[in-house]
Structure 1
Amino acid sequence: MKFGVTNLRRLRNVAPIDIKPITLLVGKNSGGKSSFLRSFPLFRQSLLTRTSSPILWFGDLVDFGSFDASVSRFNKADEVTFTFSASGIGFEEQEYYYFIDDFPVVQRSSQKARLISASFTPTIVRRQEKNRLSILEYHVSDKDIKVKIQMTDEGLVQEIYINGVESSKFLEGAKMVSSGASLFPELRIIPNKEQVPVGAPWRHLSSSALVAPLFKILRQNIDGRVRDPSLQELARRMISSGFPDTEALLAVARSSGKMVGERMRYMLLQNSNLRDRIFTTITLSNIPLLSRSIGNHFKPILSSVLYIGPARARSERYYRYQDLAVDEIDPDGQNFAMFLNSLSRSKLEAFSNWVESLFGYGVSVTQKTGHISISLIDRGIETNIVDVGYGVSQVLPVLGQIWWARERTSPRARNASISILAIEQPELHLHPAHQALLADALVEEAKASRARNTNARTIHYLIETHSETLVNRLGEFIAAGRLSPDDVQVVLFEPSEDGLMTDVRVVPFDNNGSLVNWPFGFFQPPVI
């Protein structure tokens, strides 16, 4: 997965960045690192809450304030843009619409699964005190097809551009509509009832809204001896073949006979006007499927994001017990005790053993007279967490999130191709030696996630940090051959030349564990 953002606070234009298994965000304070990282829990709270706008700027996970507080002050267009990009997006089904007694009927045809590489860029503006989707941009990189959809203030599709050419006219009376205010809206093409033959049983119709226009093109250019039902079926199969590809369309045409195949070869290879009309009609017909496929890919990822913030709650000697089933840790770790108490005995023991393997102490939970206490176990001796130092109490919720990212079994997480855990400043109040152990936990979990099954959901850690120790430790792992440089990167946030905005660039590790083009003295104070 890649993610980019434009005009969000100090982030003027961040090109899509690959979210690798371990991605560290580093830079000086107030440089935009938190804005970038918190975008992920922002998307989660927007997708999981019933809203009338695509983005819920203030919610239970993060608080961006409002659109006005989030948009860059130096953005004259007054808009915020996000970009989501991935390969391996499933592209499987086509929808067909019919009218029976004035009601639309939807039929889906199963097709062989196809995988595409694509990106989606929604642009958000403020209209009449509400956030609106202003522009939807889709790019299918496999076919080099770019679609730009202009929306009205009422959320209706206004204009459709395919590779820069306005193409709404090819809908021929049908219309494209949006499913609502979601950040990932589904688009639909609704035909006029006049396009469906009167009295035709819907089960015998095998046409989408744009089969009729494509059939019209074929009928005008293919010998009349080829009967209408055959051409209607050919038009349906051409649309069902996915985004237009000359060789694929010629193969479909040849299966309808030599005469049709030869005529189609002329239309696609020698008549550029007909080829453009055919390609545009097929592309338009596949836009709804593209919007749904992209939503089905990204929504499970973003709605299952785990997040732990920098201001974590101070540990207490006793916690008031509540009959709550807690299946996630709050961003501030406030409910960490109840989270541990909700684990089964075997799960709690597994967590304790995992922490002990890293830091040398286990974890236990005791419930007495309506209260819960957390203790650390060192060589068989239990000590209340309040009595072992502030740093330990601050890192435990972080360790809990890292461990839970692997263990959780919620439906949202199972349906996601990757699982993202966003952590802000996990090194707070930790000795450098323990900061290095935190890197060990990340590396071991990332390796275990990949080793379990190459086709299974993998965990990707997005971490904002000021820890030189954490960065250097990852380099040591690479140099020792225990971590691939392809699985880790540093994203550097630097002030722009004018000092008003932030420039962002990726700094990779080489095979020796050294950072490539790293600024000299980055972690050092100014020379006196």
Structure 2
Amino acid sequence: MIRSITLSGFKSLKRLSFDLGKLNILVGANASGKSSFLQTLLLLRQSSTPEGLIQSLQLSGELFEGGTAADVLHPEAERRIDVEIAEGAAISQFQFEALRSDTDPNPRTLVARSALPKLPIELSERGNWFSYLNAERVGPRVNYPLSPNEAKLSGVLGKHGEFTTAYLARAHASSATVSGWDARLNQLTFSQSKNIDPADVTLAQSQMVPVANLLLGWIIPGATFDASEHASMDTAQLGFTRDATGTKASVRPTHIGFGLSYVLPIIAAILSTHDAGTLIVENPEAHLHPFSQSRIGSLLGLAAKDGMQTFVETHSDHLVNGVRLAVKNNLIAASDVRFFFFEKNPDADSSIVTTLTVEEDGSLSDWPAGFFDQIENDLARL
């Protein structure tokens, strides 16, 4: 697991250090620097070889389109971006510089200043070691694409979750199991979760699709899915039901809104990512009712319990409270959770970050002004 990251010179991140946990929640106002933190991780990954070697920082790529050096450098960065990553006892320092030339005064690549160490396996390994889901995920469709043969930098589901249906269809056809998830699944039982809500979410098996269906129904009560692959037509199809009695036929995603289509890739990413890998999710609360936003927060806490390092950008106080409930009900240790509250310092054109930790009873170490206090502010005015 990556223990800490120090970033210098990237966009509004003039110089900031992050002491990381297994579950890292990024919160704060729009344009305060949350996405910039995630983009740094994505830039490192898209610039590395599968062995973790980086010759230059590629600002344009599959995971993130950063533009030119002028777009990503802090005004006081002296055309440099520095990243320090601590993994266990090892500390790796990466230094990149934008070189000027007559033919390319504003390059799209920053050159490594010296021989660089390897990027940690959690950020460089291909396959199911890494999953990234963009805030703009694939919504309801009649058909979904099949997975490509080559390994995607974003992981097996694609950065928009576009290959989720095909992945789950193949998992169903092969009776694929959830790798490395047995211990965590056993935690999400009725006895553990009854203090969150009265739903019985006992997980008695570890096959991928039944577990994904059970979790979908836990987040959106009564919801189930079925996925099928049609290789001869190069498409996969998805069906949903929202029927607690199980008497209705499934319908196309286009008949049931965005919430189910947006949350299913998150469930699939949690179940498919290596239990020692890295998961990055932007706005997992999108299109979800507050009830389900809280549930997805608890699920993300559970997913990070046994080793998967997770980074989440969110604007949802319900998701935050779901994580706190997961801590209170022992689905994840309080020491494994970090909240990073981003604010913008307009005078210095830079981000300020406050680290909040969680107590064992789910309370937060601090509650700074602007940290999900809007409802209290509005009610006071009413």
TM-score by length of 1: 0.56
Counterpart residue number, 1:478: 327
Structure-2 separation of matches of 1:517 and 1:71: 32
Question: For residue 289 of structure 1, what is the aligned residue in structure 2?
Answer: none
Return the offset for 1:473: 1.7
**Counterpart residue number, 1:169:** none
Aligned-partner Cα distance in 2 for 1:473–1:309: 21
> What is the CA distance between 1:352 and its match in structure 2?
2.6
CA distance in 2, matches of 1:323, 1:80: 33
How many Å separate the matches in 1 of 2:371 and 2:312?
Answer: 18
Q: Which amino acid aligns with 1:399?
A: I
Whole-Å Cα distance in 2 between the matches of residues 323 and 300 of structure 1? Answer: 23
SS of the counterpart of 1:55?
A: strand
Once the two structures are superposed, the pairs formed by residues 256-295 of structure 1 within 5 Å of their partners are: 295=118
Query: In structure 2, what is the equivalent of residue 400 of structure 1?
Result: 268
Cα distance change of structure 1 residues 46 and 431 upon mapping to structure 2, 3 Å threshold? same
Residue 497 to residue 131, structure 1, CA distance change in 2 (3 Å) = closer
Given the alignment, which residue of 117, 135, 153 partners 1:310? 135
Aligned equivalent of 2:297: 439
Q: Could you say which residue in structure 2 is the equivalent of 1:21?
A: 22
Q: Distance in 1 between matches of 2:337 and 2:147?
A: 40
After superposition, the CA RMSD in angstroms is 2.7
Q: Normalization by structure 2: what TM-score?
A: 0.75
Q: For each residue in 1:69-107, what CA deviation from the matched residue of structure 2 results, as whole angstroms up to 9, or x when unmatched? A: 1111243x22111011122xxxxxxxxxxxxxxxxxxxx
Superimposed CA distance per residue, residues 112-147 of structure 1 (whole angstroms, 9 cap, x where no aligned partner):
xxxxx232222211124452233xxxxxxxxxxxxx
Partner deviation per Cα, 1:211-260 (whole Å, 9 max, x = no partner): xxxxxxxxxxxxxxxxxxxxxxxxxxxxxxxxxxxxxxxxxxxxxxxxxx
Q: State the Cα deviation string for residues 29-81 of structure 1 (Å, max 9, x = none).
A: 11111110122222111113899942111111111112221111243x22111
Q: 1:3 is paired with a residue of what secondary structure?
A: strand
Q: Is 1:45 equivalent to 2:24 in the alignment?
A: no
What is the CA–CA distance in structure 1 between the aligned matches of 2:322 and 2:354, rounded to whole Å?
Answer: 21
User: CA separation in 2, counterparts of 1:47 and 1:12?
Assistant: 23
Structure 2 SS opposite 1:382: coil
From 3, 6, 23, the counterpart of 1:4: 6
Look up the match of 1:118: 90
Contact preservation (8 Å) 2:283, 2:314: yes
Alignment-mate amino acid for residue 228 of structure 2: T
Q: CA deviation at 1:321?
A: 5.9
Taking a change above 3 Å as real, the CA distance of residues 524 and 58 of structure 1, as seen in their structure-2 partners, is same
Aligned length: 320
| Gap change, CA 1:323 and 1:5, over 3 Å in 2 | closer
Residue from 329, 335, 359 that aligns with 2:163: 335
Whole-angstrom CA distance in 2 between matches of 1:70 and 1:323 = 31
The verdict on how the C-alpha distance between 1:71 and 1:321 changes in structure 2, with shifts beyond 3 A counting, is closer
Contact 1:324 1:338 survives alignment (8 Å): no
**Map of 1:236 onto structure 2:** none
SS at match of 2:98: strand
Work out the CA distance in 2 between the residues paired with 1:315 and 1:48: 34
Distance 1:512 1:341, change over 3 A: closer
Structure of greater Rg: 1
Q: Tell me the residue number matched to 1:217.
A: none
Q: Residue 302 of structure 1 aligns to a residue in which SS?
A: helix
Q: What SS class does the counterpart of residue 472 from structure 1 fall into?
A: helix
> Which residue is 2:175 aligned to?
346
Structural mapping, 1:112-511, within 5 Å: 117-127=89-99, 128=101, 129=104, 131-134=110-113, 151=114, 178=115, 183-184=116-117, 295=118, 298-304=119-125, 305-319=130-144, 328-343=156-171, 344-347=173-176, 350-360=207-217, 361-367=223-229, 370=233, 371-377=235-241, 378=243, 379=246, 381-406=249-274, 418-447=276-305, 450=306, 458-496=307-345, 498=347, 500-511=349-360
SS of residue in 1 equivalent to 2:279: strand
Residues 131 and 433 of structure 1, relative CA distance in 2, 3 Å threshold: same
Whichever residue aligns with residue 31 of structure 2, its letter is S
Between 1:395-404 and 1:474-483, the stretch displaced more is 474-483
Supply the AA of the counterpart residue of 1:430. L
1:518 alignment partner, SS class: coil
Give ranges in structure 1 of 5+ residues lacking alignment: 88-116, 135-150, 152-177, 185-294, 408-417, 451-457
SS in 2 for 1:394: helix
Shift of 1:4: 1.5
User: As a proportion of its length, which structure holds more helix?
Assistant: 1
**Gap change, CA 1:504 and 1:425, over 3 Å in 2:** same
Q: Percent of aligned pairs with the same residue?
A: 22
| One-letter amino acid of the counterpart of residue 403, structure 1 | L
Tell me which moved more, 423-432 or 362-371. 362-371
| CA distance in structure 2 between the aligned counterparts of 1:30 and 1:336, rounded to whole angstroms | 30
CA contact (8 A) 1:386 1:393 kept: no
Unmatched 5+ residue regions in structure 2?
178-205, 218-222
Query: Any conservation in 2 of the 1:43–1:55 contact (CA below 8 Å)?
Result: yes
- Between the aligned partners of 1:122 and 1:467, the Cα distance in structure 2 is 33
Higher relative contact order (CA 8 A, sep 6+): 2
Distance 1:445 1:323, change over 3 A: closer
d(CA) in 1 for partners of 2:160, 2:148: 20
Q: Partners in 2 of 1:521 and 1:79 — Cα distance?
A: 32
- The one-letter amino acid paired with 2:165 is A
1:118–1:325 distance in 2 versus 1, CA, 3 Å:
closer
Give, in whole Å, the separation in 1 of the partners of 2:304 and 2:358: 17
1:464 CA displacement? 0.5
What is residue 198 of structure 2 aligned with on the other side? Answer: none
